[in-house]
A and B are shown apart, each in its own frame.
Chain A
Amino acid sequence: MKNELTKIFRDIMQDSKLNLLPSLTPTEISNWDSFNHLNLILALEDMYALEFSSEEINNISSVKDLIKCLEKKGITSDF
C-alpha cells in the first residue's frame, strides 16, 4: 500500500520527490488543498474499488487518518 499511496500522492500533489510519512498533514504537503483532497479520494476510490462517506472525507486530516480509513475498509497497511 505504501508504494501505491506514495505514487498517487506524488501524482496529484505534483511533487515527484514527496516522501510520504503518516504524520504529514495538508499544511505540510504542498498542493494538498480541498480540490486535490477530492482528487486524492477519487483516485483511491478508483484504485481500490471502494467508497468513502462524506463524513470520512471530511475527517481525513493527515496521512495517518487516511491509512486508518483504508485499513477499516480492508486495505492492509505496510507503513
Chain B
Amino acid sequence: MKNMNFISYPSYNDVNNQLKKITDIKSSNNKNLNITLAGNVEMNFLKSACFLTLYKHGYSSNISVLPFDSWIPVALKDNESDFWVIWLSSYGLSNGKTKRASLDFKNIKKSINSLKRKGIIIILIIPEAMDVEADSYSDFYYWRNNIINEIKKSLKQKVFLFSLDNIQRTIGMEKWVDNRFWSIAKLPCHPDAATAVSIEVSNVIHNILNQNIRAVVVDLDNTLWGGILGDVGQANLQLDVNSMGRPYLEMQLFIKDLIRKGIPVSIVSKNELETAKLPFLKNKNMILKLRDFLYFEASWEPKYLAIKKIIKGLNLSPDQVCFIDDSLFERDQASQAIPKLRVPDLNNDPEYRINDLIKTGWFSFPVIRKVDKSRVKKYKEEKIRQDARSSFSESDYLKSLKIEIVGKKINAHNIERSYSLIQKTNQFNLTNVKFTKKELTTFIENKNNYAYAFEAKDKFGNYGQISVILIKKTNLNCSIENWVLSCRVFNRGIDLAIYNFLLNWTKKNKINEISCEYVTTKKNEFLLNFMESLGFIKQSEKNNNVCLTCLNPILPKHYVSIKN
C-alpha cells in the first residue's frame, strides 16, 4: 500500500452542517475580512466553505457573492472589499462547452486595474480543465491553454493566479465533473468539488495575510543525504540521482528554492564540524553549497541548544522557525525543549518527505517580493555584525556601525513594503492594529495624517525599510496610530533615532502632547517599559489597552544619524 496521505476535503453538505454548529462567530474571532466572490460561475456554492475555512484560521469574514457573470461593472465601484476572488471558468467562457469564445480582455483589465488601485487583493482562478479534454487532442484543450497564456501574459503582475489543476488531480475528474450543475445552476463542477476550491482559495487568502515560516534549520545525515557521514565517509553517501540519492537531492532543491524565496537556512548536525563540511566541498552531486547556509552548527550537543542559538541570532520567535530532521528522537527532543518550534513529521521513507512538508502549508509563499529575495543577504550581513560586536564595548560598537536612517512619507513606491512590514511585525508593534492595504491607503490620503517609512543602513550593508510610524494630528496634539519596527534592528538605537525624528516633527508642527494607545499582546510586553523610558505616562488602562500620553519627552542617547 502506498504510504502517502493526500489531503481529503469535506463535502458541501458537511461544510454546511459544520457551519450550523458554530454559534460564537462574532466573539472569538476579531480579524475582520471583507471578501467578494465573483466570476462567470455561480459563486454561492463557495460561500460557506470560504467562511468556515477563514473562521478556522481566526477570521470573521463578511462575504458578498456577485450574481453570475456580473462582476466587471461592479469592480469599478467597489470600495469595501479586502479581497476579490474571481473565477474565470472554462464553462463560463464556453457557455457550457457550446462555443469557444475569446476573452473580453479590455474590460477585464479595466476592472482588475480599478480594484488594484483601491488596494484590493485579487485572486484569479484561471480556466479549469474540462471533461472533454479526456481526448488529449480536443479543440477545447488548445483553446483553454491559449486563454491561460494570455491571462498569464497580461495579468500575472496584478493578481494572484490560482490554478485548479492540483485540486482536480487530488479529487479526480470523476468527482469533479457534474454537468447537471452547469445546466441548472451555472456551476462548472459538483458542489463538493466547488467546496474544495473554496477551501484552497481561502487558504491562499490566509497565506497572503500571514507570512509563513521565516527561517529553516535542517539536519544533514539521512535528511540532505542518505547514510551516516561519520560511519560511511563522504564518498559513500547516497547522493546519486540515478539511484537511492534522488529523494535527498529533491530535498536539497526544495531547500535551495526556499533560500531563493528569502528564507535563511541553517544546518544543525551531530557531527564533527570539519567532517560535516566535507560533502559540501568534495561531492559534486551536492545541490546545496556551504555559502547557502547562515549558521553551520555541528557538534555532539543536543540539537536544541544550537537551534536556540540560531533563533536568538535571527531575532525571531520559535514559531517562525521550522526544524527539518528525519529522526523522530531529534524532532521530539527539540519540540520538548522549544515548545513552539515548528517541527514537521517526516516519513521514514525519504520518497514521501517533500509531500509531508508541502502538506503542512508552511512553505507556501504566494507573494515573493524583491526584498524577500534579498533577506538572506541581510541576515548574513547581520551575522557579520554580531561577530564584530564581541570585540567592542556597547557604545563603541554602536558608534562603529555608523548607522543612518532616512524617513520618507509613505507613497505609492513604499506602500507595499510598509503594508507588509505592519502585517509581519508582532514584537515591536505598538497598537497591534494590522491595517489592510486599503485601510493604509485611506489613512495616508487624509491630510491630517502623517505616515513615514524608515530605511536604515550601516557600514556593513543596507537594512532596507525597517520601520513605519503612523501619526494622526489634531490641532496641537498628535497620536501615534501605530509604530512598528523590524526585529532585525533591535538594540542599536534605531528606535530612539526614529523617536528623535518624531520629536523633530512635533517641534516643527508645534505639537504639545503626543498620545498613543498601546495594546498588550504576548509578544510586545517590553514596549510599555520602552515607551515609559521615552517620557510617556500611563493615563488609563482597560483590558489590554493602555492609554499613554507624553508632555515632556525624554530622548535617550543614540549614535544614529538622521537624514530627511
Contacts and interface: CB of A to CB of B under 8 A. Distances in A.
A58 B191 CA distance: 17
A57 B12 CA distance: 18
B191 A57 contact: no
A79 interface: no
A43 B16 CA distance: 10
Contact of B184 (A11, A43, A54): A54
Contacts of A23: none
Prevailing SS type, chain B contact patch: helix
Contacts of A11: 20
A24 B44 CA distance: 25
Contact of B185 (A35, A52, A53): A35
Interface in A26-67: 34-35, 38-39, 42-43, 46, 52-54, 57-58
A42 B16 CA distance: 11
B191 A42 contact: yes
Interface string B142-175: 0000000000000000000000000000000000
Contacts of B191: 38, 42
Nearest to A46: B13
A35 B11 CA distance: 17
Interface in B180-201: 180-181, 183-185, 191
B184 A57 contact: yes
Nearest to A45: B13
Given A42-B191, A46-B13, A35 B183 contact: no
A42 B20 CA distance: 17
A52 B178 CA distance: 12
Contacts of B181: 38
Nearest to A47: B13
Interface of B: 11-13, 16, 20, 42, 44, 179-181, 183-185, 191
16 contacts: A11-B20, A34-B185, A35-B185, A38-B184, A38-B185, A39-B16, A42-B12, A43-B13, A46-B11, A52-B180, A54-B179, A54-B180, A54-B183, A57-B180, A57-B184, A58-B184
Shortest Cβ-Cβ A-B pairs, 3 listed: A54-B180, A54-B183, A46-B13
